[in-house]
Structure 1
Amino acid sequence: MTSDSTIQHPHDTRSCDAIVVGAGVVGTAIAYGLVRQGLRVLVLDGTDGDLRAAKANFGLVWVQGKGFGQPAYQQLSRRSAALWSAFARELTAESGIELDYRAEGGIHFCLGQTQWEQRAGKLSRLADQLPGHESCTEMLDRAQLQRLFPKVQFGPEVSGASYGRMDGHVNPLRLLAALQRGFQLRGGNLRTNSPVSRIAPLSGGGFSVHAGTQRFEAARVVVAAGLGSSALGPMVGLDVPLRPQRGQLLVTERLAPLLPLPASGLRQTAEGTVMIGVTQEEVGYDLSTTTVAAARMSRQAGRVLPALRQAQLVRHWSCLRVMTPDGCPVYAGSADHPGAWIALCHSGITLAAFHAGPLAAAFAQARIPDELQIFHHGRFNVPQTA
């Protein structure tokens, strides 16, 4: 990772056009997009001990199955995935960092005929949510799956899979490093170990942002601090209900090529390791790893690819996702304090191309397009019936 000490900046970081709070994938993608719009941008990041969702990121650029019952989210995911190839090329060229991005599609395995039929029914209903849009997913029975991957030995329970043409995967750590590097090369300033404690609106407009003993000012502020946004957002009238969701992952030793495409819960990286996961646990802020989850994930992986039963596991860890009540992103500006914005989601990799492009452009122009109004957090302000 790069830091503010590695690149010299021509401007005073204490006064800038915009301050982005949070240097994870979401915050840095937005900041990168803002400097591309010509703004002077400062990013303030917390410490290594912060609750960073990126630590448990699976690296999927994923569309299939996403947004069930929420067509706007499905359409947003498709929109960002369509931007990803150009985004990856430009970011790699600018940063000099190879992202290991591949977009040959993705697989969701089914075990047993019942799972296959349930998956087919869900994807059919999902396609019905966007009439007039071509489906980007198809169901494959076991014979079709085996013809697609003739060298892969599937477990006897594998009945088939769904195949998503728009799906892909990327190295999430390289993506974050490239975004930070590209941001700084364009004159953006990244200050690490600078957790924000206070955001205060100024009487004449704009905001002062406090990080330790330092104070910075800007006309705009973007809160993209993940779970930390629960404390910072209300300071500028952006109170968004959030909850943590624990995800545990396993990683194997390096293996010979085993899985040509990424799958939901299985991904072989460019280095040869296989990522196995991911759990979805409602356990508050508990970051523990559990043998129960490890055993369940290992068994599931072995049922799909029996070769993994012999693989040595080299790492097991967990982190906390950023979840809104409906699982969809939040993009909003403050009605009380114009110039303050918030951006939150649990799908920062898939949406990175959108965040760095159309969303950053909207923030730079101080407006939220009509098609994004559905992601305003006001949707959660529904009176409870007795």
Structure 2
Amino acid sequence: MAIHTGSLIRVLFVLLIVFFSIYFSSSPLTSIDNESTLDKVYSSLDLLEASRRRHQELETALVETRIEITDKLNEFSFHSSIPGSNIKTSEDLLKFRSYMECVTTKGKWVYDDTPRAFLIHKLEPLYGKCDSNFIPLNKNSSIEELWSNARNSIKYKWKTPNECPLPSFNRKDYCSLIAGKKILIVGDILSHQLHDLLIDYFHDGPVQCYERSCRNHILCPSPSDDDGLSSVMRYTRNDILSGKTAENLDRLEMKFLEQSWTHHVFRHNVLILNKGHHYQDDATFRSSFIQIVKYLRSNNPDTLLIFRSSTIGHSNCNVPNIKPLFNPYNDYELENLPYNWGEIHKQNMIAKEIIEAVGGVYWNIENVMETRVDDHVGGRDCLRWCIPGPSDICLV
């Protein structure tokens, strides 16, 4: 992979490969073969019309977004670089984006029953619900014993084409890659699951933390006497990425949880942002996101900004023994999903235009997770996945 091994690759590798590598091995693969679980009670004309509408709505949204970017973000120009990384030329930028596009859109889920290590969840008990009926094994059990007791849902791997292979690393490698990185994660409870995944991977035991916010966690200690080389993570919950501060918390919209977070930014050199599943119309979503990234880039010119895409929910996630979908939902099915889930892709594309306009990175996990209807926490929660499970690989 002909990409500079600078700070951008270090951060994204630890966020992609940490969860990819535990599934990565050279064993035989079997394709998923089940049908979509949504009832197909529509005609080909219905599907055609839905596709036309969704395409037109997306094109209109992107045109409006580009107009507002030109108007409000015209002081920024990042056609050949990504601040906070070693990507400084248009060639390197193109290679990086092409690689990320390949990894996230050209892969497929395959079933592989070859025994291998997987994450052990140590924190929020909600994410362990899927294992509540499994007999806990001794901590000294072999990989084979743990594997034979594991759910089938964790035995799928994300297989990418030869043009964008996934490297394999261990925890020591990861710590070397993210040395000196101070990571701030801001978003809703789905971002909190990303926080839990990182803790599960880098820590051998549980830590005390909560969904509303969490103190700094050292992911990796400094490899030397220089404390600045330690890697640190912090999570703050703000459902819509508002710039609320302690002084204006009395003017919050009560339907959202908006913890103040911008005062933490100066202590961090990597920001991972997500606006979550708290629906706003396109104009509000677009304008508010432009406002916050303009503030962030103006005041933090060297910080690496990453927007983590949202994933669609799966309304039939409580079906027993359900498997990953063979195909993602089509346009008609997406239009008929509840809770504005059908709007997720369009607003992800809006966010992509905006974050890249200020030299940030769009981290696409929407495509990776769109068929993983299985292994959700369940009950009334068809957004988050159990740990270990699909989220190990793409971080909901």
The TM tier, using the shorter chain, reads: under 0.3
TM-score, reference length from structure 1: 0.25
Write 1 or 2 for the structure with the bigger share of strand. Answer: 1
Write 1 or 2 for the structure with the bigger share of helix. Answer: 2
